[in-house]
Structure 1
């Protein structure tokens, strides 16, 4: 696959065409070689909310397709599909389990208590070495103190759970100050791991209807995302077409 064929443009972003296994190997390589890399999961909400951040994602950033809405947008623009749907809720715990011998993970975000409960789940169910956790409220107010705490923990992997676009902005603004090598924007993952929000049953996930399950559980919070914002997302996809702006997105400075 040529360099150009490795990506698909959508809504002004360049999304990596890859599988879960290939992505795991790529991230393991970045970790082993000490190459700092940010990873974002592009669902429809990401595409809509993160407009204007493309230039900051030009270097050392991977953007991965997540969800049926992105599949629809990609088909409209490119008449093709991604090889595999990659959502962070499934991918990240599996990836952290795969690097449990070398990974030192810090969790940041969520309501008080969420990150600590998520850390317990990662340790007990996935064998992950969690070296620290901070909530996104009082413990996240002093950014410099938080950055120092993360660096002092010895973490080489950071999960940031603040929702779009706050988590992406935070990572992009702070990554130069952080010693961690892998930085993931994880959305509601910590809520799921903590048991604060339920995952959809397996059969609903197989039908690619988990978005509808979440909408039924949280209609007030998610109604706009799955109605008006879907229209905005499709308009962005059609308006930008195959363009991505004046930048080149790559997984590292080595490409």
Structure 2
């Protein structure tokens, strides 16, 4: 399988010289391998470079999203537009089998995004997009307490139609935001950013998945020990068995089978790469 490097429009490709551990392709999606400290510095650098070019789109790849990328060309293209970080034990298993070593850190969005906002050397004007009515406002209050150096310039719930999507981008642009956190669920959030991030006027957009639910207190996080063991998916499955069973049981099996297939037959290809 041919794997492209992670090139952001308007910027040079990221290489191992930028980051000692380089990129680890998973199903043709280049996933950045770095510690959280290195990635905070890297995002600061890239967000500065994005001021003069195309905005930077950041996404997190887990087993579920990797399955979506395997199956759908549009989803894969949305992930490949920008910077992709690793999320969860499934990606660790995949990179051990495909590349011979684990990722340096688990850079899941629920933990890494608040950490980035707290430690970044940059001051952002932040718009929060997603969740049900009122959730984004609760997240803004939580982030203002944790990372008060930033300005939180707007919020909007994530329940809008495709016809309203362009207007949402216009509202973000009108707010003056330069960073938008998008919690629309995958793959909707990645597809929306792929199409509309440039229209928002933001220099960086980050897909944050379920972060808003946890930061707002709408849903509980797994205990710290469970998170350290990268088994939070088990906790979520126990809390929401009906909703999560298909994703975590059948989905995880499909993901591991596809990793094994790629390991044993390196020239096998995801559905979206086939002619």
In the alignment of these two chains, the number of paired residues is 244
1:104 maps onto 2:125 in alignment: yes
Q: How far off is 1:136 after superposition?
A: 0.8
1:45 maps onto 2:67 in alignment: no
Q: Which residue in 1 is equivalent to 2:166?
A: 144
Q: Check 1:197–1:12 CA distance in 2 against 1; reply closer, same or farther (3 A cut).
A: same
Contact 2:173 2:202 in 1 (8 A): yes
1:183 maps onto 2:205 in alignment: yes
- If the length of structure 2 is used for normalisation, what is the TM-score? 0.81
Q: Which residue in 1 is equivalent to 2:182?
A: 160
Q: Which residue in 2 is equivalent to 1:84?
A: 105
Contact 1:150 1:178 in 2 (8 A): yes
After TM superposition, the structure 1 stretch with the greater mean CA deviation from structure 2, 179-188 or 99-108, is 99-108
After TM superposition, the structure 1 stretch with the greater mean CA deviation from structure 2, 84-93 or 5-14, is 5-14
Match 1:195 to one of 213, 217, 241:
217
Q: Which runs of 5+ in 2 are unaligned?
A: 1-15, 271-275
Question: Whole-Å Cα distance in 2 between the matches of residues 123 and 140 of structure 1?
Answer: 30
Match 1:20 to one of 27, 36, 44:
36
Contact 1:50 1:164 in 2 (8 A): no
1:54 alignment partner, SS class:
helix
Contact 2:127 2:177 in 1 (8 A): yes
Q: Check 1:129–1:205 CA distance in 2 against 1; reply closer, same or farther (3 A cut).
A: same
Q: Check 1:90–1:124 CA distance in 2 against 1; reply closer, same or farther (3 A cut).
A: same
Q: Which residue in 1 is equivalent to 2:26?
A: 10
Q: How far off is 1:157 after superposition?
A: 0.6
Q: How far off is 1:29 after superposition?
A: 1.4
1:85 alignment partner, SS class:
coil
Q: Which residue in 2 is equivalent to 1:228?
A: 250
Q: Which residue in 2 is equivalent to 1:249?
A: none
Contact 2:79 2:190 in 1 (8 A): no
Q: Check 1:101–1:172 CA distance in 2 against 1; reply closer, same or farther (3 A cut).
A: closer
- If the length of structure 1 is used for normalisation, what is the TM-score? 0.87
Contact 2:29 2:79 in 1 (8 A): no
Q: Which runs of 5+ in 1 are unaligned?
A: 246-255
Cα distance per residue 1:210-241 (max 9 Å; x no partner): 11111111111111111111121123323345
Contact 2:166 2:196 in 1 (8 A): no
Question: Whole-Å Cα distance in 1 between the matches of residues 80 and 209 of structure 2?
Answer: 21
Q: How far off is 1:25 after superposition?
A: 0.8
Match 2:46 to one of 27, 30, 33:
30
Cα distance per residue 1:132-190 (max 9 Å; x no partner): 00001159861222111100111111111111111111111112322101111110001
Q: How far off is 1:100 after superposition?
A: 7.5
Cα distance per residue 1:89-135 (max 9 Å; x no partner): 11101111224861111111111111111111111233242110000
1:31 alignment partner, SS class:
helix
After TM superposition, the structure 1 stretch with the greater mean CA deviation from structure 2, 26-35 or 211-220, is 26-35
Question: Whole-Å Cα distance in 2 between the matches of residues 89 and 123 of structure 1?
Answer: 16
Contact 1:134 1:140 in 2 (8 A): no
2:124 alignment partner, SS class:
coil
Question: Whole-Å Cα distance in 2 between the matches of residues 55 and 202 of structure 1?
Answer: 34
After TM superposition, the structure 1 stretch with the greater mean CA deviation from structure 2, 170-179 or 219-228, is 170-179
